[in-house]
Amino acid sequence: MARHGFTAFVLPGAAFAPHQSTGRGGWGVSFLGDHVSRRAPYRSCVRFSQHHGSRSASATAGAARRLKMVSVQDDDLLSAENIPVLAFTGHRMKVYSGSANPELAEKIARLVGKTSSNRILRKKFSDGETYVRIEESVRGCNVFLIQSACGPNVNDHLIELLLMIDACRRAHSQQITVCLPYYCYSRSDRLIDPDKKRREALTSKLVANMLSEAGAHRVVVLDIHSPQTCGFFDIPVDHIFAAPLFVEYLLKKKHADPSSLGYVVVAPDVGGVARARAIAKALDDVPLAIIDKRREAHNEAKVLNLVGDVRGKVAILVDDMIDTAGTICEGARMLRENGAEKVFAVATHPIFSGPACERLSSGVFEEVIVSDSIPVPKEKQFPQLRVLSVAPLIADQLIRLHDLSLR
């Protein structure tokens, strides 16, 4: 750096401000994204921190062409109040994708200011064992691992994630954050009928232990089956909700047709009341209804009763996931029998196993609205299906976490 001046790479429209961590009255600038050095001052996501952290301006750049060269003189800076001195941070952001949902990981990587996810080698040996190798240095980096541990190879995806965590830990990453858009085994979160002494495994807790023991420092989950599962972890957990995504979509549909019927949000069981109530409140406080059901066995449920009025309305059946679709389709038929004009299904995780696609496309639903937390292959897509991307929600959370680590 020159004695009386320096050159900095900044984004168009960005402003410098004092950095609270320098302690010497210096410029504060934090780079989120690729490492910025003398040789490679290219892709960056720049954060300028205001004095005392009261305000901040965030911006992203996906390529060097969006950056400007700005020359600033020290004398000009030192003559004004709140004068900053440039300080480059050594923190770097790396985003790696597992093999379960690479499309979602690429979307997230672009939204956090990278051209693509970072390089990682994943392969299978002839005996079925998994091999993982990080293809670049991650020493001192903040690493984000994105993996939906979903079917049909859920166990392989889980093992692959554990190997990714271990590889990053042994490569001296500063912080490892595991992002699980779909958390596997989340339904095995309690012991059922302990009086019958079934001696079953509490698998959700076991998976939480495996992630933390492998070396993860933080976990990000999306609409986990039971929020209390977050208590199974001994490390910080960030729980993201996809409800704002669905609410925005439904409100747009409603505003596009002012003559449309009123909404009523329906919880498929008592356990889903809190989720359904939150969406009902966001949809301008529409009414709430509840389906009373009894689960006879795994993937089998019997609908018994409906609490609430759905006659002459558009029923929105809300759940966290759709597996075989037996429960949600049975509930939709009951809603139509009770006078609902239309029925929409809203679920975050489209597992779609077994006869799910056949049931959902049978005509009982006007639309089936899901997220891309789990990839839906072409053979499982049908005309009523609408897929909304959760990449912006996850990317925003990852940027916040990385920003927090720089303070």
Q: pLDDT tens digits, residue range 125-148? A: 999 999 999 999 999 999 999 999
Q: What percent of the chain has pLDDT over 70?
A: 73
Confidence (pLDDT) at 94 = 95
Confidence (pLDDT) at 261 = 84
- How far CA 315 is from CA of 245, 304, 329, 361, in Å, comes to 18, 18, 13, 17
Confidence (pLDDT) at 327 = 86
pLDDT over 70 at 7, yes or no: no
Of residues 293, 342, 378, 380, which has the active-site annotation?
293
pLDDT over 50 at 11, yes or no: no
pLDDT over 80 at 302, yes or no: no
Confidence (pLDDT) at 226 = 85
> Which residue type occupies 362?
S
pLDDT over 50 at 323, yes or no: yes
Highest mean pLDDT among 7-16, 215-224, 266-275: 215-224
Range with lowest mean pLDDT among 60-74, 312-326, 348-362: 60-74
pLDDT over 90 at 93, yes or no: yes
Using DSSP, state whether 221 is helix, strand or coil: strand
Tell me, yes or no, if 293 is annotated catalytic: yes
pLDDT over 60 at 165, yes or no: yes
- Its CATH architecture, for the domain 93-242+393-402, is 3-Layer(aba) Sandwich (3.40)
Tokens representing 195?
């009086």
Closest CA to 34 of 150, 125, 137, 106: 137
pLDDT category of residue 85 using cuts at 50, 70 and 90: very low
Mean pLDDT, the chain, rounded, equals: 79
> Which residue type occupies 72?
V
What's the whole-number mean pLDDT along residues 387-395?
97
What's the whole-number mean pLDDT along residues 330-354?
94
Residue with tokens 């921190």: 49
Beta-carbon-side half-sphere exposure of residue 381 (alpha carbons within 13 Å)? 10
Confidence (pLDDT) at 175 = 94
Confidence (pLDDT) at 405 = 79
Enclosing H/E stretch for 250? helix 243-256
Beta strand 300-307 with 288-297 is antiparallel
What's the whole-number mean pLDDT along residues 79-105?
65
What's the whole-number mean pLDDT along residues 324-333?
91
> Phi and psi for 66 in degrees, rounded to 5?
-90, 0
The CATH classification number of 243-389 equals: 3.40.50.2020
- Rounded-to-integer distance, Cα 42 and Cα 59, Å: 14
Q: Answer with the residue of higher pLDDT: 29 or 217.
A: 217
**CA-CA-CA-CA dihedral for 289, 295, 301, 306, to nearest 10:** -20
pLDDT category of residue 59 using cuts at 50, 70 and 90: very low
- Rounded-to-integer distance, Cα 372 and Cα 103, Å: 9
Confidence (pLDDT) at 75 = 39
Q: Which long-range contacts (CB under 8 A, 24 or more apart) does 239-242 make?
A: 240/390, 240/393, 240/394, 240/397, 241/278, 242/348, 242/371, 242/373, 242/388, 242/390, 242/393
Range with lowest mean pLDDT among 65-74, 156-165, 239-248, 361-370: 65-74
**Range list for CATH 3.40.50.2020 in the chain:** 93-242+393-402, 243-389
Range with lowest mean pLDDT among 58-67, 85-94, 375-384: 58-67
Confidence (pLDDT) at 152 = 86
What's the whole-number mean pLDDT along residues 240-255?
94
pLDDT category of residue 270 using cuts at 50, 70 and 90: confident
- Rounded-to-integer distance, Cα 285 and Cα 279, Å: 8
Q: Answer with the residue of higher pLDDT: 297 or 52.
A: 297
Enclosing H/E stretch for 162? helix 154-170
**Chain CA centroid to CA 331, Å:** 28
Q: Answer with the residue of higher pLDDT: 45 or 382.
A: 382
Residues 6 or more apart in contact with residue 190 via CB below 8 angstroms: 202, 226
What's the whole-number mean pLDDT along residues 213-219?
96
Q: How many residues does the chain have?
A: 407
Range with lowest mean pLDDT among 28-42, 213-227, 319-333: 28-42
Residues 6 or more apart in contact with residue 42 via CB below 8 angstroms: 34, 36, 63, 64, 67
